[in-house]
Structure 1
């Protein structure tokens, strides 16, 4: 993107007409190292994009003057912005609306209310794919090291092979070591509130994570707390 060469920080254009949500998004995005630009309606969003292409757009579905769907459609028609990452943000949660947003050209779709951690994870995933992700460093706990920029994990120097969901699950645990999370909290933090999956899905991915992280003779670092949930911790 043109913006990436002009600024060290990736730029996110937030297109949102609800002032409180706009303020919340700006605070959290800037806290994570992003540069934020704003547009309050569809026409302003197109103008902003034409003046200076951002690295990613958070695009509200329901906007004054021009809907988010139409904004997305017009952005995709232009060769210069055809590959611009777009996440559609909306109060609509029906499956057919998600399909429509993706068919129009959005790269991802998240419904209000959403967990900020889930939105940030999606933003980073899209920016990694487009080559505009900010440097994030490493997460360490015990002998586990997660290189977030290289998307690699090791334990005691041994490379761990994790699926996408197991990676996000371990990343979430590494950000909160020792803290116990219920299945519902893990669903919100890792999958996002708008994604409808059964709590038992957490158990499946915990088993996969355990299998990948715990080698022969190694201590199990995923602690099960009866009637409470799971934690990145060791017994005793």
Structure 2
């Protein structure tokens, strides 16, 4: 059985590296994108089981990425976790209204991160 595939969409290399480390420790296959445009291109080219999406990015932010992805029949049902430094209620509401399934605030506790990813992938939390 193939490993679940996760796409990290974040413009910060350190955040991508941290999330990649945690995901690979869960035996998941990981790919990365530096903004919403690249993320959308990758999501349309190959299947993913989960997206981890930042809000604030150049070119296309995470909210716009989710809005666009949810309009496309091929990828609209991929679960997405919005992971951002934005912690206001309006930010969470906007993310959820545009297609995020979960909303986490950076920095994310590694145990919380792993448990939320596991739930979104239909796995038992470790």
Report the counterpart of residue 71 of structure 1 in structure 2: 65
Match of 1:40 among 21, 34, 56: 34
1:198-219: CA deviation from partner (whole Å, max 9, x where unpaired): xxxxxxxxxxxxxxxxxxxxxx
**How much is the aligned-residue C-alpha RMSD, in angstroms?**
1.4
Report the counterpart of residue 100 of structure 1 in structure 2: 94
Report the counterpart of residue 24 of structure 1 in structure 2: 18
Matches within 5 A, 1:34-183: 34-128=28-122, 133=123, 148=124
Match of 2:2 among 4, 8, 21: 8
CA distance in 2, matches of 1:91, 1:47: 24
The Cα of 1:16 is off from its aligned counterpart by 1.0
The Cα of 1:79 is off from its aligned counterpart by 1.2
CA distance in 2, matches of 1:77, 1:53: 16
1:123-156: CA deviation from partner (whole Å, max 9, x where unpaired): 111111xxxx4xxxxxxxxxxxxxx4xxxxxxxx
1:175-220: CA deviation from partner (whole Å, max 9, x where unpaired): xxxxxxxxxxxxxxxxxxxxxxxxxxxxxxxxxxxxxxxxxxxxxx
Structure with bigger gyration radius: 1
The alignment covers a number of residue pairs equal to 126
CA distance in 1, matches of 2:25, 2:108: 18
Q: State TM-score, norm by structure 1.
A: 0.51
User: What secondary structure, in the 3-state scheme, does the structure 1 residue paired with 2:107 have?
Assistant: coil
CA distance in 1, matches of 2:33, 2:80: 14
User: What secondary structure, in the 3-state scheme, does the structure 1 residue paired with 2:8 have?
Assistant: strand
1:37-92: CA deviation from partner (whole Å, max 9, x where unpaired): 00011110011001102110000101110010000000000111121100011110
- Larger RCO of the pair (alpha carbons < 8 Å, separation 6+): 2
User: What secondary structure, in the 3-state scheme, does the structure 2 residue paired with 1:80 have?
Assistant: coil
